[in-house]
Amino acid sequence: MIYKQRSMPKILIGLSALMPRLQPSHAEMLRVREDFRIRKAGYGGEQHFDKHLLEFKPHYPHAILHDVCLKQNGVYFQMDSVLITPAFILIIEVKNIAGKIIVKSNPTQFIQESPTGERKVLSNPIAELNRKQLFLNEWLKQRKIDIPISGLVTFAFTNELIFENVPETKITFTNETPTYLYSLSVDKEIISKDTIQKLAFELRNNHQEYDPFPLTKLMNISPIDILPGVICPACNTRGMKWKPRKWACPTCNHTGPEYHIAALADWRCLMGNRITNREFRSFMLLNDRQVTTRFLARSGLSHEGKGKGSFYIMNENTNKHESALHEL
């Protein structure tokens, strides 16, 4: 049973909000685009893995959780997927890497080779798994749970894999993962069905999603470089105009009443969760203070302070749904 689904990482949502609000010539644009490309590919690989894992339906009690981030001894550690069985826990590391992968030993290295022969040393997913196993073991011990923990590296798509020596940690392709999981022996009960369920809820309740916002601060981008304006969802033109009861795009004439909500979500991602009437007016390219006040009153924001010192607070729901992401 799946106790926690995977959701789009906040950093990916934030990068999507950032790209159309930087000048194409901005000094950080290439870095932002490349970061977005890599993270989008990684998330796509994890989604591909999740679909294949739906084939895994064993007869024994189990729990599956996707994208779990815990804190242990002041250190955060993130697990792509976790399988809990009566006999063991398996941490799964999902990789979406193109090209030929060469796995060397002593020390273990993962090397990516492009079609042109160019080589690049990658972060070692086995070392990452070992670190996560150590932290999860300590986290479980604090809850008086003692159970073997192992790891699995799975590549989202079929690469050419070359091993100098086969590592102890199992490496599979995503489409092979359900078959491999079925092959694992679950012949003893270290934890009961009830304990599996309680542990799954405990993991889910202790999950702490990484919050990169405001992205301008994280990526050392000046707030004054962020371009204002409501973005048209039909043609991606920035700078929709407010007409009576609706926003109108000057480029394609598309209209709609609530497109400022997406712009508010952009603000939260890029600038933070506080906004004043003046900031809202400037960011939405509005001239009328009273119209701005009505917008803010209807946007579900919390109003704090009085007079010139007043501001509005956005909650976690002031965000973009995955389908509303700006595409490159």
Percent of residues, the chain, with pLDDT higher than 90: 77
Q: Are residues 280 and 321 in contact, defined by beta-carbon separation less than 8 angstroms?
A: no
pLDDT, position 185 = 95
Spatial distance between the Cα atoms of 252 and 49, rounded to a whole number of angstroms: 39
Amino acid at 66: H
Report the residue count for the chain: 328
Instruction: Say if residue 324's pLDDT is above 70.
Output: no
Give the mean model confidence (pLDDT) for residues 256-280.
95
How confident is the model at residue 166, as a pLDDT? 84
DSSP-derived pairing of the beta strands 311-313 and 274-275: antiparallel
Domains located in the chain, CATH noted: 2-206 (no CATH), 228-324 (1.10.10)
Distance CA 69, CA 91 (A): 12
Stretch 244-270: mean pLDDT: 95
**pLDDT band (50, 70, 90) for residue 325:** very low
Q: 54-67, pLDDT tens digit by residue?
A: 999 999 999 999 99
Q: What is the mean pLDDT of residues 267-277?
A: 96
Q: What pLDDT shows up at residue 318?
A: 57
C-alpha closest to that of 11 among 33, 39, 31, 53: 39
How many whole angstroms separate alpha carbon 321 and alpha carbon 17? 12
